[in-house]
Amino acid sequence: MVAQLKWIITSFCLAIVCVVAQAEPLPPAVIAIIDYRALELESDAALDVIRQVNSYRDKYQAEIVEHEDALRSEAQELERQQTILAPEVFKEKRLSFEQRTQTFQQEVMERNRRFDRALGNARNEILRTVLVIVTKIAEDRKFNIVLDNSQALFVATALDITAQVMEELNEKLPTVAVKLPPEQ
């Protein structure tokens, strides 16, 4: 069975080679390289996104710490009251506390999801703009292949158009608004 499958695959590959050999010759590759990671981290828009993200993160972290402190104090008070309260009353208070704690944890997770979506949307806006810029440069300079530098083992610096893309990106998209989706 395996030998038969290998024979079929080999025959298929051979047929494709024969068809390609008879096809018209391909145009020569005219290649350009970009460093998308640098564009995503160092462009004006990316730096603006990072600034906004850090601002949101600091604000949310302060709110979380404040809420955690309140829950910690409440837990200590509940622990202190355990010996004073009747078992049924203590159980009711403990269940209520656990419910508030669980609700808080869910709210934090939902905020993180909203935050991740907002960050993803901002990055996608940068990517869309980069694609428009790269497409225009490729058409103007007759590139038929544009690769990210992470896809190449060796790159001659003359092929790198990152600086030109960065300049145009900073011109076209100096800022990106990080918009948090509404709470659900």
Instruction: Report pLDDT digits (tens) over 61-70.
Output: 999 999 999 9
In whole angstroms, what is the distance from residue 78 CA to residue 9 CA? 70
Mean per-residue pLDDT of the chain: 85
* Banded model confidence at residue 11, pLDDT cuts 50, 70, 90: low
pTM given for the model: 0.72
In whole angstroms, what is the distance from residue 33 CA to residue 157 CA? 9
* 31-73 residue pLDDT tens: 899 999 999 999 999 999 999 988 988 898 999 999 999 989 9
Residue 34, SS3? strand
**Sign of the Cα pseudo-torsion (97, 103, 106, 112, in order):** negative
How much is the pLDDT for 13? 44
Please give the single-letter amino acid code of residue 48: D
User: C-alpha dihedral over 19, 24, 30, 31, to 10 degrees?
Assistant: -10
How much is the pLDDT for 23? 57
Indicate whether 104 pLDDT > 80: yes
How much is the pLDDT for 155? 83
How much is the pLDDT for 160? 92
In whole angstroms, what is the distance from residue 141 CA to residue 7 CA? 44
Domain ranges of the chain: 2-172
* 123-172 residue pLDDT tens: 999 999 999 999 999 999 999 989 899 888 888 888 999 999 999 999 99
Q: Are 60 and 111 in contact (CB under 8 A)?
A: yes
How much is the pLDDT for 8? 58
Q: Are 40 and 63 in contact (CB under 8 A)?
A: no
Mean pLDDT lowest for which of 24-28, 90-94, 120-124, 172-176? 24-28
* Banded model confidence at residue 5, pLDDT cuts 50, 70, 90: very low
